[in-house]
Amino acid sequence: MEHKHLDQLRSVADVEPRSMTRQERLQRWIDILERNPHRRLNSLGEIEYQPPAERALVRANDSPLTVAFEDPVLRTEGLASDRLGDAMRFFELTEGQAHYALCSCLSGHHMEAASFAQRLRNTTGGQAWHAVAGAWGLAGLAMALPGFLYLIG
């Protein structure tokens, strides 16, 4: 098999690099945060209290969004800025996911990069929501069990 550089292939074929999937973009962001796990980063200040139009413009110096925007690959893929709205669009985050991963009301004003990475992993991998659903299910069972035992007892 002959290997050629991308520039050489472009001269003989239409070669377009494949865009990253949502999961690949998120994983890259998590990996970048974990490269310097003890780096102290700023969370976003109580984003849930911002009106929706202003919420999209929220940013903080040296935040997890800054780390993502500093990455040339993510910028090339289309990350427009380190503002919350641009990051939510690019990483396809819901408001709940962005709030859980980035807001100061849950994490304080500063947190280590590894902690932000874990929050992103939890909220976007479905693990956090499964854990919450499981906890509610167990709570419901615990509440219903005495009544059920009374009925059959």
pLDDT band, residue 141 (cuts 50/70/90) = low
Residues sharing a CB contact under 8 Å with residue 48, sequence separation 6 or more, in sequence order: 99, 103, 105
Per-residue confidence (pLDDT) for residue 128, from 0 to 100: 45
Secondary structure in 3-state letters for the chain: CCCCCHHHHHCCCCCCCCCCCHHHHHHHHHHHHHHCCCCEEECECCHHHCCHHHHCCCCCCCCHHHHHHHCHHHHHHCCCCCCHHHHHHHHCCCHHHHHHHHEHHHHCCEEEHHHHHHHHHHHHCCHHHHHHHHHHHHHHHHHHHHHHHHHHC
Average pLDDT over residues 102-122: 91
pTM: predicted TM-score of the whole model, two decimal places: 0.71
pLDDT band, residue 80 (cuts 50/70/90) = very high
Region of poorest pLDDT, from 78-82, 133-137, 143-147 = 133-137
Higher pLDDT, 144 or 60: 60
